[in-house]
Chains A and B, each alone.
Chain A
Amino acid sequence: MRDLKYLNYFEKLLQEANNELVAKAREDGKICVSYTCENVPEPLLNLGNCVSIRLSAPNTGSLDIATYYMTALLCEPSRALLERAIEGGFNFSDCVITPDGCTMMNRAVENMELLRTMGKDNPKFFHEYMEIAFKNTENDVNLAVLQCTNHILKPLHENYGVDVSDTAIRESVERHNRLCRVIRAIGEFRKGDRPRITGYEFHVLCLATYVCPKYLILDKLEETLEELKTREPDDRPWRARVLLVGSEVDDPGFVKLIEEQGAFVCCDRFCFGSYPGRTEIVLNDEEDALRQVCRHYVQNCQCPRMMNQEKVYSRKQYVAELAKEYSADGVIYEQVKFCDPWAYERTLGSSMLKLDYGYPVLSVDRPYNIASSAGQMRTRVQAFVESIEIKNIQRGGKA
């Protein structure tokens, strides 16, 4: 296929956390609200003059200093973020808002706070920690409302004078929804026998929506969507279509590696992917916007930390439904090394997807930066692709 016009541009933006658009946003006088977890309602971080920047640590190499602070057994993303923070890579932040979601990420941010890695020259800088929902009940919605009020809205208003009114929230949701619609529409081109966008390309675009100020990329995303409508797909058939499920994938190289083995990543269901992260938030006029946003996040959350059994089962069903919708031949459950929630979710999910829903499953753990163990991963994916092909042959289909 012809290269997407802005692919190289977006790839470049993903090369560092403090990318040119983050710098541009600061020049524009924006308040950079940094965060680390998909469970924080994003529209609330983009109120008024605020822009949300999801912290990431592209091209991570040595983790020596973070490993001293957190030992080698904490997940690599948490250590990579701390390392990057110590290096000064997140100095653009005007505040950091973190849920006490997974313990390791929470500890990473606490270390950042204790080491005063950010906000040295900004007296208004603050760290906030939130409790987040455990279940999808109305009690959890109440919790989310209170937590968002106390740990997002109040501090943003008190420190930076941000307008946190119902109207402001609705406006922010509308901007958020516009972005979601574009990303989801782009993602639709992964469907069908001849997809017009690869999993890698889609992942680059989607990831950029989390780590860049949205208002600075929306036009290019919309232009990319138009470009895709007329893009001529490759004739080369993929050997298999796979759905990727698991921990955050900050390194698009991982998706590229999978696709280099002939497995098209037809859908993404991982932290900071498009499912469920880029689902539109539908608001009504009867209830206040904050409560509706919170309910959306509580109900749509697919985080393995959601503990009620209904959620435990529905997460697998959600994966199965996506696999069906995107015609996946198999599912790859991945977990970044030492991630406890996804370690268990991967175990149970890979078993249920295989036994209850009949999908071939590859269950792997991986480093944060795939370059450090690309060979092993390539072998695992190759074997998985071959096993899917053999199954197809046995069923009388084509290889």
Chain B
Amino acid sequence: MKTVEKVVNPVRRAGEQSPGRIYDEKLKVRARREWRGVKDTFYDYTRWLYLLSVLGRFILVPRNVKGFFRYRWMMSYLFVPHGMDKFTIGLRDEALRIAHTSFNFVIADVTQAIANCFRGDRRVGNDKAYSDKCVITDENSMVTFMMGFDRDKVHTILREVPTMFASNIFHQFNVMHYLDIAQQYGIPGDVCPMPEAEAGISIEDDFCVLGCCAVQNNTTCDGSLMGNGIIAKRLDREYGIPTFQLATPLRHKEPDVLEYAAQEIRNAIAFVEEHTGEKWDWDLYFKAARRVNYATKCRIAQLEINSTPYPQFFGAAFSLYNDTNYMGNSGRDPAFVGIDRKLLELAEQGYKAKRMYAGEYRHRAIVWGVQPQYVIDMLYWMVQCWGVVPLADMLSIINTDMIADEDTPENREQAYRDMAMLNMEMIMRNHTHGGYKVLLDDLWDLCEKMNADVVMMWEHMSCKALTGMHGMFEEQGRARGIHVMWVTHDLCDPRVFTRQAIRDQVNNYMRTVMREEPLDPSLENIPDNEAY
């Protein structure tokens, strides 16, 4: 089997050495926060204060209080600071700052998204003028088709992000209720729980109701595509909100699907123009395109840093930021540029100082597949408990091509193809769909490029696109001498695999196959199965 050189951290971690001690099985949150040494604890404290100020400002608005008591999923946001702790387990120095910078920005963005939802929601703020300029989209929707609309005039509402996706990260049990509702109405328990929960939210009438129209997408999987029908029916028949289904071809590497996809983008734009009364602005589009390109350049630079012995970018905070930037933003908000720059500066600084996330790096891993929502701290845990450093995760391996960003007549036509390409190569589906090559061959190429000896394979058991290649991963990994460490889960249903059951799969592999002892034994068993 392939081996990599062990890298030992010459610097002892500041503060406490065994963060596993701060968990208490009697509590549903941690017994206390982590002591990270004076400097980093103080920094973490100031970031906590900042988060409280964001949440405080949100709840001072009366309609947000009304919304809080109307929607069950809002309870999750009480646990945002708890989420922050999950995102920063064991982190120090630049790593801590990278996690906070990205996480806090995402929180501010999600908080604004909830505030926008409540403002237009017919049951809460009922600001009709505002709602009439809102376009609802899916949680897994690339919003490229909104890049040329003025953000002050047309508001893109990714309604499912705060309702399901983000809320589940802070509160592991919160979607169980919606899954139960969906299954009560006959959807089987073996489909992907994410679109199933979203269908359950719709059935339960727990989505905010706003917008002049909605654009749905088939960007993820058969389940997501099918769940949209249930959601659209309610939007259409009960609330009178017309929906456009933006079809996105699956075989995105084939040139003969591009024109179809580009035409779908044209149709989606025309639909938004028709329902909002606003016009597409090419100047705005190309400005956004330049920001998309800047984010792409930053992402390429990040990958280069991670291919060295001192990787700086990984973990949930980073991948969540990437999701938000690439998919939910798509260059529309200039604020992301500053964050991109800051994150890269921090990483370069960390790389120059040879900062490490753990006492030693024994293995270099590519993380493939889809991570579970409720064990969001897993990658930080893996590096600190076992010294397996994640170099890249599948969800962050997205487009690296530049798109046309100068306004010329030819580029206006090219722009539709660029938007279509970005849409087709949306996070996750750019590997889970489009033929086996993007799922298998891309992985092995990445292992080579990043010098990885382990693939940490998230096997989301309901993701048929991934599990359908299970045997091939095994066989091809074996042929290449790369360890394939399977970690099975059910995305957002902790009843199927608990957090510890998920970690135990790594524990077992490391002990029985690798025959290693943990770097930090306090983390091997954490009593957080019942924690939020």
Seen from chain A, the residues whose Cβ lies within 8 Å of a Cβ on chain B are 68-71, 73-75, 78, 100, 102-104, 106-108, 110-111, 113-114, 129-131, 134-135, 139-140, 142-143, 146-147, 150, 304-305, 307-309, 312, 335, 337-338, 340-341, 343-348, 350-351, 363, 365
B154 within 8 A of A: no
Seen from chain B, the residues whose Cβ lies within 8 Å of a Cβ on chain A are 185-188, 190-192, 199, 216, 218, 221-223, 225-230, 232-233, 236, 243, 245, 247, 249-251, 254, 256-257, 259-260, 263-264, 267, 433, 435-436, 459, 461-462, 464-465, 467-472
Contact A69 B472 (CB under 8 A): yes
Contact B188 A307 (CB under 8 A): no
23 pairs of residues in contact across A and B, judged by CB atoms under 8 Å: A68-B471, A69-B470, A70-B467, A71-B459, A73-B462, A78-B468, A100-B433, A103-B433, A103-B468, A107-B436, A111-B469, A113-B436, A139-B260, A307-B247, A309-B232, A312-B232, A337-B190, A338-B464, A344-B226, A347-B186, A348-B230, A351-B186, A365-B188
Contact B230 A111 (CB under 8 A): no
Contact B471 A107 (CB under 8 A): no
Chain A nearest CB: distance from B463 CB in Å?
9
B228, B250, B259, B464: residue with the most chain A Cβ atoms closer than 10 Å: B464
Chain A nearest CB: distance from B325 CB in Å?
27
Known pairs A107-B468, A340-B464, A351-B186. 16 more at Cβ < 8 A? A71-B470, A100-B435, A103-B468, A107-B465, A110-B435, A130-B251, A139-B263, A139-B267, A335-B188, A341-B222, A341-B225, A343-B187, A343-B188, A345-B226, A347-B186, A348-B233
Going nearest first, the 3 A-B pairs with the smallest beta carbon separation are A107-B468, A69-B471, A344-B226
Residues of A within 8 A of B225 (CB): 305, 307, 341
Contact A74 B464 (CB under 8 A): yes
A344 vs B226: C-alpha distance in the bound complex, in angstroms?
6
Contact A308 B245 (CB under 8 A): yes
Chain B nearest CB: distance from A377 CB in Å?
16
Q: Which residue of A lies closest to B255 (CB)?
A: A150
A112 vs B264: C-alpha distance in the bound complex, in angstroms?
32
Chain B nearest CB: distance from A291 CB in Å?
15
Residues of B within 8 A of A338 (CB): 188, 190, 464
A143 vs B261: C-alpha distance in the bound complex, in angstroms?
9
A103 vs B190: C-alpha distance in the bound complex, in angstroms?
15
A345 vs B186: C-alpha distance in the bound complex, in angstroms?
10
Contact A309 B243 (CB under 8 A): yes
Chain B nearest CB: distance from A249 CB in Å?
18
A114 vs B191: C-alpha distance in the bound complex, in angstroms?
26
Chain A nearest CB: distance from B459 CB in Å?
8
Contact A309 B218 (CB under 8 A): no
Chain A nearest CB: distance from B235 CB in Å?
9
A108, A135, A340, A345: residue with the most chain B Cβ atoms closer than 10 Å: A340
Chain B nearest CB: distance from A195 CB in Å?
30
Contact B222 A340 (CB under 8 A): yes
Contact B464 A344 (CB under 8 A): no
Contact B251 A307 (CB under 8 A): no
A110 vs B471: C-alpha distance in the bound complex, in angstroms?
12
Residues of A within 8 A of B199 (CB): 344
Residues of B within 8 A of A108 (CB): 468
Chain A nearest CB: distance from B392 CB in Å?
24
Residues of B within 8 A of A146 (CB): 256, 259-260
Contact A114 B228 (CB under 8 A): no
Residues of B within 8 A of A131 (CB): 249-251, 254, 256-257, 260
Residues of B within 8 A of A346 (CB): 186
Q: Which residue of B lies closest to A66 (CB)?
A: B471
Contact of A129 among B187, B233, B263, B435 (CB under 8 A): B435
Q: Which residue of B lies closest to A345 (CB)?
A: B226
